[in-house]
Amino acid sequence: WGVLLMAAWPNMAFDLCGICCGHFLMPFWQFLAATFIGKALFKANGQACFFIMLFTPEHLEKFVGFVESIIPDSLDPCVWVQGMECHTLLHDMLKKVGSDFQKRIDGSGNVAEVSWPKMLWNWIMILFIGYFIVSCIEQFAQHRKFELQAQEKKNK
């Protein structure tokens, strides 16, 4: 289940998930099946639905209306924090994201700077993957050393 969930979310943490599955000797076909379900069924369809909702005004309004219907006005946490209802904040945010995305497609928008937490997370993932590569090389070297020592003992 963990592989399926990690595969459904597009990030470098899935690389780390694959490394862990290999380390703990998860069966290949089980890993491949969970990855396929997560990527092909959940991630692809979820992204398609999100972008259809984002760029089709009717679907955007239906989604915001759905959010408005499930959050009671008396329990709306956004009113306490931001002073506005959640569905209004969500509508404004999605409209802004959609227009920013459309500007980038048209070439008229500025490319946003990467935030420092995102940059830090990327470097942490790069370090994890680098450490894994180094440990694999060391493991192969140790295995080869043991093979050579065993062969030397046989020759003596």
pLDDT at 67: 78
Could you tell me which residues come within 8 angstroms of residue 129 by beta carbon, excluding any fewer than 6 positions away? 12, 15, 16, 19
- The average pLDDT across 142-153 equals 91
State yes or no: pLDDT of 75 exceeds 80.
no
Here the tokens at position 113 are 């700077």
Here the tokens at position 103 are 């500007």
The 10s digit of each residue's pLDDT in 112-146 is 566 788 788 888 888 888 888 888 889 889 989 99
DSSP 25: T
Prediction pTM value: 0.49
